[in-house]
């Protein structure tokens, strides 16, 4: 996943959350007298954001590369598929956000699912097509497949359950490896969040209370989470150069996959009458709540008192 995909999503989330607030149901939104105005706000802001960001991408990312004929690019073996997890996460969250926005504007469930839910996929597909005409990259079939999967995960849950019982979340902790290849992994904290795949963890956060009888006493806000990350990656497909510390000692990093089991909090399940808090909880619910975790990897099992 090229880092601009996450950058797009972050921009999309920040701006959109200033316009859209999720309502409990479409019927409750329709009862409000200003839902027609909300549709205008939704259409205008989405159009401006989409057009403006694509224009920005074309000038900021693609202008420095010569464009040529449309071509494909196979990057499925890079970054131990952490980039692919990022694509699934990004399109899932964009679909979740836009379905909430369509709900806020009073659209029917069908339009919320099939239009709102697929806007993110259409947007990311447009970016992928732009890649296809760029000599710097190419259209990645693996990326697009992950885009479809992320969107499908969000839409299917909303269609069958009218809620997101299985959520995708993100966490980050500096890896210490970016200093050895800052051009690729990031030169500072801000860019490392987007570029350093060694520092990212993606989570599948499941809400057990949603799958058992309503009269159960299991906390509705408590989730169980399954995470995936990778470490030791100085380059995309392999570590192509020798890494040395400040004393000249050669450092060897083995590329490995890491799996996690932890607990999580679904902030959208926390009851509050504050509209502001509901918006905040919905926005930051993309992040995994810090909690104890068990890590499984090829060589060892490790326990964290607090993983974030």
SS (H, E, C) 182-215: HHHHCCCHHHHHHHCHHHEEEEEEECHHHHCCCC
pTM for the model stands at: 0.88
Provide the mean pLDDT of the chain: 85
DSSP SS3 for 54:
helix
pLDDT digits (tens, 9 = 90+) for 101-141: 899 899 999 999 999 999 989 989 988 998 898 887 899 99
Please choose, from the candidates 116, 92, 150, the residue with its C-alpha nearest in 3D space to the C-alpha of residue 26: 116
What's the pLDDT tens digit per position in 154-185? 999 999 999 999 999 999 999 999 999 998 89
């Amino acid at each position: 996943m090229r880092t601009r995909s996450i950058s797009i999503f972050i921009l999309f989330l920040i701006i959109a959350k200033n316009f859209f607030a999720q309502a409990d149901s479409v019927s409750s939104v329709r009862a409000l007298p200003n839902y027609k105005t909300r549709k205008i706000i939704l259409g205008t802001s989405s159009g401006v954001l989409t057009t403006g960001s694509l224009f920005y991408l074309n000038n900021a990312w693609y202008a420095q590369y010569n464009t040529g004929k449309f071509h494909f690019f196979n990057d499925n073996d890079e970054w131990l598929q952490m980039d692919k997890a990022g694509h699934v996460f990004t399109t899932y969250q964009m679909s979740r956000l836009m379905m909430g926005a369509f709900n806020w504007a009073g659209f029917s469930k069908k339009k919320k699912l099939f239009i709102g839910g697929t806007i993110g996929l259409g947007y990311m597909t447009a970016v992928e097509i732009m890649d296809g005409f760029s000599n710097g990259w190419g259209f990645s079939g693996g990326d697009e497949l992950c885009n479809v999967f992320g969107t499908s995960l969000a839409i299917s849950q909303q269609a069958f359950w009218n809620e997101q019982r299985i959520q995708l979340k993100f966490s980050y902790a500096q890896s210490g490896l970016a200093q050895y290849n800052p051009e690729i992994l990031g030169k500072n904290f801000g860019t490392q969040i987007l570029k350093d795949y060694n520092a990212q963890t993606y989570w599948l956060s499941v809400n057990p209370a949603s799958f058992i009888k309503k009269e159960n006493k299991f906390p509705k806000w408590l989730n169980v989470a399954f995470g995936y990350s990778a470490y030791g990656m100085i380059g995309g497909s392999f570590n192509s150069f020798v890494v040395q510390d400040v004393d000249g000692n050669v450092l060897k990093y083995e590329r490995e996959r890491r799996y996690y089991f932890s607990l999580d909090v679904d902030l959208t399940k926390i009851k509050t009458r504050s509209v502001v808090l509901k918006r905040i909880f919905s926005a930051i619910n993309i992040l995994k709540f810090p909690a104890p975790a068990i890590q499984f990897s090829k060589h060892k099992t490790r326990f964290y008192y607090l993983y974030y």
